[in-house]
Structures are given as structure tokens and as C-alpha cells.
Amino acid sequence: MNEVKNILLAGVGGQGILLASEVIAEVMLLAGLDVKKNEIHGMSQRGGSVVSHVRYGEKVYSSIIPEGEVDILFSFELLETCRYLPLLRKNGRVVVSNWQISPPAVARGAQIYPENLEEKICQQFPSSVVIDGLNLALTAGNAKTVNTVLLGALSNILPFGRELWMEALQKMIPARLLDVNLKAFELGCGEVSQ
């Protein structure tokens, strides 16, 4: 039986979501699986929502994850995470950075950023992994490596060997940025036990 697994990536433009989806897809390809990927860039250059679907299995026919079939919600910002929680399977899992980025309505003062989002996510999905991605990225040496910190955490959840992740990172990340990203990846790995 062909079981297709689904990862939904969500966040805000500029957070490295598309690179993260490329790395995840590359890991699956290196593992010999069929992979389909789809991206939605809603006003991403203005800090708007960015979503990427990654589906993998023996044979995948569509790049769009059906509603209610997300296995892992891999998210870069708390409010964006909450927006996509209804798409998760009942036993789905969330991997999220605790980063809060105010949407335009909040920045203008027309709305307030909701409180206690971490708690709400963990109550609804108890196996959630919430990571202080920005601080770990800063520890690695570059705030722009939050995506790689989260990939490190995800690598301990998915059933793919470390060597595949290393190969994918080396292939997808420019050589001048590889060392800091590998450090960020290791810090993310340390946040989730295998």
C-alpha cells in the first residue's frame, strides 16, 4: 500500500520557507521516494503568508495536501501556525519556532497579536515541538538560519538518516553559508530527542 506523508510549511515571507521545503524535498529524493512540492506566495515580499506543501511516498499523484491530511505542520511563526492547525490530521504533529511577527493590521494598531499561542498549540496537539528558533540561530551566528535550526529539529522526527540531511544541506546551501547553517542544524537537532 502506498502511504503518502504530508508536511505543510507555513510562515512569513523572508523566513526561508522555500529553501527549507527544497531541503526537505531533496532529503526525500535522496531516500529514493517520489516527492511533490507546491508553494503559495501571498504577498511574501511584504511580510505576507508563505505556504509550501511537501508530499512524499512510493508514488505521489498531487502536490496539494488534502484538508485534514497534514502529518507535520512545520512552521516558522506562531500566528501562521494557528492559521493552519485545522489542516492537521487528528494525530498530527507541529514543529514551530516561537517567533512572533506582527501582521500589518497589528503593526498599524488595528488589531492585537493574540496571546498564549504556544499554549493553545500544545493543548490542541500535545506532541508539538516549540523551539526558540531565533535565539538558536543567533547562537549559530546568523539570524537568517532559523529555517535550518527548525530543519535540525525536524530531522529527529522524520525517519531519514543524518547523512541524507547533510547531503541535502550541502547541495542546497551556498558554500559561503554552509558552516553557519550546519551549526544551526546541529543546534536544532539538540532540541528534539530521537
- Per residue in 56-111, pLDDT (tens digit) is 999 999 999 999 999 999 999 999 999 999 999 999 999 999 988 777 777 788 88
Residue 140 scores a pLDDT above 90: yes
Q: How far apart are CA 191 and CA 129, in angstroms?
A: 9
Higher pLDDT residue, 30 or 39? Answer: 30
How far, in Å, CA of 131 to CA of 97, rounded?
5
Banded pLDDT at 1 (limits 50, 70, 90)? very low
Assess whether pLDDT exceeds 70 at residue 41.
Answer: no
- Domain residue ranges of the chain, discontinuous segments joined by +: 5-132+162-177
CA distance 105 to 63: 31
- Angle at CA of residue 86, ends 15 and 12, nearest 5°: 15
What is the C-alpha to C-alpha distance for residues 173 and 189, in angstroms, rounded to an integer? 18
**Distance (Å, whole) CA 15 – CA 78:** 13
Residue 45 confidence (pLDDT) above 60: no
Share of the chain above pLDDT 70, in %: 95
Cβ neighbours for 136, distance < 8 A, ≥ 6 positions apart: 146, 149, 184, 187, 188, 191
Q: What is the side-by-side order of every strand in the sheet holding 70-75?
A: 34-41, 49-57, 5-12, 70-75, 88-97, 129-131
pLDDT > 90 in the chain, percent: 76
Query: Is it the case that residue 142 has pLDDT exceeding 70?
Result: yes
Cα atoms found within 13 Å of the Cα of residue 48, Cβ hemisphere only: 7
> 5-132+162-177 in CATH: which number?
3.40.920.10
pLDDT tens, 159-177? 999 999 999 999 999 999 9
- Are 181 and 50 in contact, with CB atoms under 8 Å apart? no
Q: Quick one: average pLDDT of 29-48? A: 80
pLDDT at residue 54, as a whole number = 97
pLDDT number for residue 114: 83
| CA gap 62, 150 in Å, rounded | 25
| pTM of the predicted protein model | 0.92
